[in-house]
């Protein structure tokens, strides 16, 4: 229930445990305590759950890739994606139109909970008219649902995945 004022930079951070950025549900919480202004999570690794439930992203937000445009001893540093190793929770969030998950890696378990989380992100990107992001989360949703489908539907889903990567 922390309040983040101004820019929040979590660039190249590794969160080894569950990280809970959910918004305060306290009715007496100060105005604006539910929101991030600019938030940067590029190159960040979430080893366990990343919970953002109820947060508002009020300005540019980036969960994408830290571009390796720096050089060290004449060697260009590699690009580092944001990595979610467990199911991210963005339920009830409000996203700014300048939100990016471009290049983020989702190594989440493939189950119904993951499918619901990806559906939440897909619907949020649909509201923003971010078509490529919406399609990406649709693909992740389909991959997460695949193992729990009845055999015939799982076979068709697998065929859809092989032929078109779920339309992507």
State pLDDT tens for residues 111-120.
Answer: 999 999 999 9
Q: What CA–CA distance (Å, rounded) separates 162 from 83?
A: 24
For residue 140, give the nearest of 129, 155, 125 by alpha carbon: 125
Give residue 40's pLDDT. 92
7-11, 76-80, 148-152: range with lowest mean pLDDT: 76-80
DSSP assignment, residue 42?
T
Q: What CA–CA distance (Å, rounded) separates 89 from 108?
A: 11
Q: What CA–CA distance (Å, rounded) separates 81 from 86?
A: 15
Other C-beta atoms closer than 10 Å to the C-beta of 63 total 27
For the chain, report the end-to-end CA distance as a whole number of angstroms: 37
Q: Residues 65, 42: contact at Cβ < 8 Å?
A: yes
Which residues lie below 8 Å from residue 163, measured CB to CB, with a gap of 6+?
none
State pLDDT tens for residues 54-110.
Answer: 989 999 999 988 776 655 566 655 788 899 999 999 999 999 999 999 999 999 988
Q: What CA–CA distance (Å, rounded) separates 158 from 69?
A: 38
State pLDDT tens for residues 19-37.
Answer: 999 876 655 555 555 688 8
For residue 96, give the nearest of 69, 57, 134, 64 by alpha carbon: 57
Please check the confidence at residue 134 and state whether its pLDDT lies above 60: yes
Give residue 126's pLDDT. 96
């Amino acid at each position: 229930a922390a309040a983040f004022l101004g820019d929040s930079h979590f660039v190249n951070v590794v969160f080894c445990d569950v990280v809970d950025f959910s918004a305060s549900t306290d009715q007496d919480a100060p105005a604006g305590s539910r929101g991030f202004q600019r938030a940067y999570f590029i190159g960040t690794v979430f080893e366990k759950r990343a919970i953002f439930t109820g947060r508002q992203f009020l300005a540019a937000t980036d969960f994408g890739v830290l571009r390796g445009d720096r050089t060290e001893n004449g060697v260009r540093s590699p690009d580092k994606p944001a990595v979610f190793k467990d199911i991210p929770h963005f339920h009830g969030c409000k996203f700014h139109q300048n939100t990016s998950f471009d290049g983020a890696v989702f190594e989440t378990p493939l189950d119904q909970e993951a499918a619901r989380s990806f559906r939440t992100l897909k619907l949020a990107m649909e509201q923003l008219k971010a078509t490529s992001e919406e399609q990406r989360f649709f693909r992740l949703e389909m991959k997460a649902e695949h193992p729990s489908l009845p055999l015939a539907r799982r076979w068709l889903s697998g065929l859809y995945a092989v032929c078109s990567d779920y339309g992507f």
